[in-house]
Structures are given as C-alpha cells and as structure tokens.
Amino acid sequence: MKWSTSHEKVRAVALNPTNVSDWFNKLGTVISHFNIKTENIYNMDETGIMFQQTGKIKVIVPCGVKNPKVVTEAH
C-alpha cells in the first residue's frame, strides 16, 4: 500500500510516449536554432491549477510503484 497524489485526467491522458517525444523534438529544435548552451537550461515544474483536490489516499499498487497517482476530472 502507498499514499497516492492527485493527477488531473487531462494531464494523465496527455502524458503519452507520442506527446513526450514530440515535445523533446521541438525542444531540441529550439535549442539548436538559438544555440542555447546546456549551462543555460534549467529544470522547472509547472504543475498548473488543480480545481478539484482529492488529497492523499491509501491505494494498493504493484510492487515497485513509487508514486501512484489518482486521476481526477478537471472542471
């Protein structure tokens, strides 16, 4: 059993290999076009606004799952 965190359904659906690959391809194009140096690239977490919070709940997950998410509907 693990504690879950909430994850909007829209974000969960958008997080797929095709979208992630496309995003990194576009990022690579921008980095090359503007000749951005690696020391000028920073990590940032843009979490958005959660209109509905489910809070943390205990969930049963397979062994090895570290951060289970509960998918919620965004309104």
Q: Each residue of 7-60: pLDDT tens digit?
A: 666 677 778 899 989 999 999 999 999 999 999 988 765 555 445 555 666 767
The token pair that represents 24 in the structure block: 């990194």
Between CA 72 and CA 56 the distance in angstroms is: 12
Is pTM, for the whole model, over 0.75? no
User: Number of folded domains in the chain?
Assistant: 1
Between CA 72 and CA 75 the distance in angstroms is: 10
Question: 19: domain range?
Answer: 2-72
Q: Report pLDDT for 48.
A: 52
Question: How does residue 63 score in pLDDT terms, banded at 50, 70 and 90?
Answer: confident
